[in-house]
């Protein structure tokens, strides 16, 4: 059952890794998110070096997003123009992110930064999602019609060079999605996440995109940016473990199918509530970890 990982340089129980991939795949199939925000912390918890966990998780997300993106593509659910802007932003963000990552690594503050950003992001997104799903459930219980999803943000509306994104049904400055893509790219490189869990809400609530093209376009961005991330990590830090990513993918593919089936039996609002609770749970667990006295006060850095 043990398998030696050539880049992580330790042996693991491959069933545990496949199982971990399946668990994350199940959640991603069920909730329509990539699940990188779970893969990376779980791998680190299992003992994989953080840098290897982040890089290999990005590679796994590329593979996990393909079938979904193709399915949306066939249904015409990908806004290519919007996708291109998001990808361009993502590349810039990924490039900046890898510089920032190396700098923080040198300072020895990479782990704490990763944890803090996770707590902030997961806490915020989870909290917003919880609020939204609880409000919607209350309204439906009262028989009122659901709240309007499309929001008009004055800050975004003030940005110059407005252009029309036909498929998304919006007329906005490309700077807004470019910036969004850049932030997500930064997170992909440093945290090993696809970033769907912030991109999707931002596309709906901030950009006001029509929901039909949101998921497809977000997956389109994720494929390109995670692929670029794999390349960056391969060239810079040699931390992509192909075997680890492969094991995660095998589990992920199986888990995703089960997740999609499970999701069909639950109403979307309950799914969002479930996802919100998971996000808050992970954030809470990480926050406790930051505040408690760690089991190991010392940690070794290097050799590069």
Partner 1 sequence: MIRALILVLALIAGTPAAAVAPVRLITDISQNRIDIIYTFKGAELLVFGAIQYPRGAVPDERPGLAIVVRGPAQPITLRKKARVAGIWINTDSVHFETAPGFYAVATSAPIKSLVDERTASIWEIGLDYLQLSPTSDDTAQVAAFTRGLVDLRRRSGLWSEQEGRIGITENVLYQARIAIPSAVPVGAYTAEIYLIRHGKVIARAATPITIDKSGFERWVYVAAQKNGLLYGLVAVVLALLAGWIAGLVVRRN
Q: Which residues bind partner 1 (CB under 8 A)?
A: 2-4, 6-7, 9-11, 59-60, 62-68, 70-71, 108-109, 111-112, 116, 223, 227, 230-236, 238, 240, 242-243, 245-246, 249, 253, 257, 290-294, 296-303
Nearer of residues 90 and 174 to partner 1, judged by Cβ? 90
> Measuring CA to CA, how many Å separate 52 from each of 17, 98, 132, 163, 240?
14, 14, 36, 40, 6
SS3 of 108, please? coil
Q: Which two tokens stand for residue 19?
A: 């199982």
Q: Which two tokens stand for residue 74?
A: 């066939």
Nearer of residues 92 and 227 to partner 1, judged by Cβ? 227
The nearest distance, CB 169 to partner 1, in angstroms, is 27
Residues 6+ apart with CB under 8 A from 177: 82, 85, 86, 89, 203, 207
Q: Nearest 5°: CA angle at 189, between 115 and 94?
A: 135
CA separation for the pair 221, 235 (Å, rounded): 21
The nearest distance, CB 85 to partner 1, in angstroms, is 22
Nearer of residues 174 and 185 to partner 1, judged by Cβ? 185
The answer to whether residues 285 and 51 touch, using CB atoms and an 8 Å cutoff, is no
Nearer of residues 47 and 281 to partner 1, judged by Cβ? 47
Q: How many CB atoms lie within 10 A of CB 88?
A: 18
Buried b (16+ CB within 10 A) or exposed e, 249-269: bbbbbbbbeebbeebeeeeeb
Nearer of residues 64 and 214 to partner 1, judged by Cβ? 64
The nearest distance, CB 226 to partner 1, in angstroms, is 8
The nearest distance, CB 296 to partner 1, in angstroms, is 7
C-alpha Rg value of the chain to the nearest Å: 19
Q: Which two tokens stand for residue 68?
A: 């979904």
Q: Give me the residue label for tokens 């492969």.
A: 246
The nearest distance, CB 98 to partner 1, in angstroms, is 12
The nearest distance, CB 21 to partner 1, in angstroms, is 12
The nearest distance, CB 300 to partner 1, in angstroms, is 5
Q: Which two tokens stand for residue 218?
A: 């977000």
Nearer of residues 33 and 64 to partner 1, judged by Cβ? 64
* Sign (positive or negative) of CA dihedral 257, 262, 263, 269: negative
The nearest distance, CB 270 to partner 1, in angstroms, is 24
Nearer of residues 116 and 130 to partner 1, judged by Cβ? 116
CA separation for the pair 269, 254 (Å, rounded): 25
Nearer of residues 63 and 126 to partner 1, judged by Cβ? 63
Q: Residue 165: beta bridge partners?
A: 170
């Amino acid at each position: 059952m043990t398998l030696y990982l050539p880049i992580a340089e330790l042996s693991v129980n491959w069933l545990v890794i496949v199982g971990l991939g399946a668990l994350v795949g199940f959640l991603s199939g069920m909730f329509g998110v990539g699940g990188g925000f779970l893969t990376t912390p779980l791998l680190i918890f299992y003992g994989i070096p953080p840098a290897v966990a982040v890089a290999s998780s990005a590679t796994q997300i590329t593979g996990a997003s393909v079938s979904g993106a193709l399915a949306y593509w066939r249904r015409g659910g990908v806004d290519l123009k919007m996708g291109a802007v998001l990808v361009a932003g993502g590349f810039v963000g990924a490039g900046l992110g890898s510089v920032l990552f190396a700098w923080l690594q040198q300072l020895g503050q990479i782990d704490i930064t990763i944890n803090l950003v996770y707590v902030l992001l997961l806490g915020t997104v989870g909290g917003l999602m919880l609020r939204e799903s609880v409000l919607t459930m209350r309204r439906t219980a009262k028989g009122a019609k659901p709240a309007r999803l499309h929001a008009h943000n004055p800050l975004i509306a003030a940005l110059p060079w407005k252009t029309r994104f036909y498929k998304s049904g919006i007329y906005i400055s490309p700077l807004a999605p470019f910036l969004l893509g850049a932030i997500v790219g930064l997170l992909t490189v440093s945290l090993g996440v696809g970033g769907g869990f912030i991109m999707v809400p931002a596309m709906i609530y901030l950009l006001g995109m029509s929901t039909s093209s949101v998921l497809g376009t977000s997956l389109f961005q994720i494929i390109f940016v995670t692929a670029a991330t794999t390349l960056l990590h391969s060239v810079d830090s040699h931390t992509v473990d192909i075997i680890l990513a492969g094991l995660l993918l095998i589990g992920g593919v199986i888990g995703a199918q089960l997740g999609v089936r499970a999701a069909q039996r639950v109403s979307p609002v309950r799914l969002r509530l479930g996802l919100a609770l998971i996000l808050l749970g992970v954030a809470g667990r990480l926050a406790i970890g930051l505040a408690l006295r760690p089991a190991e006060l010392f940690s070794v850095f290097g050799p590069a």
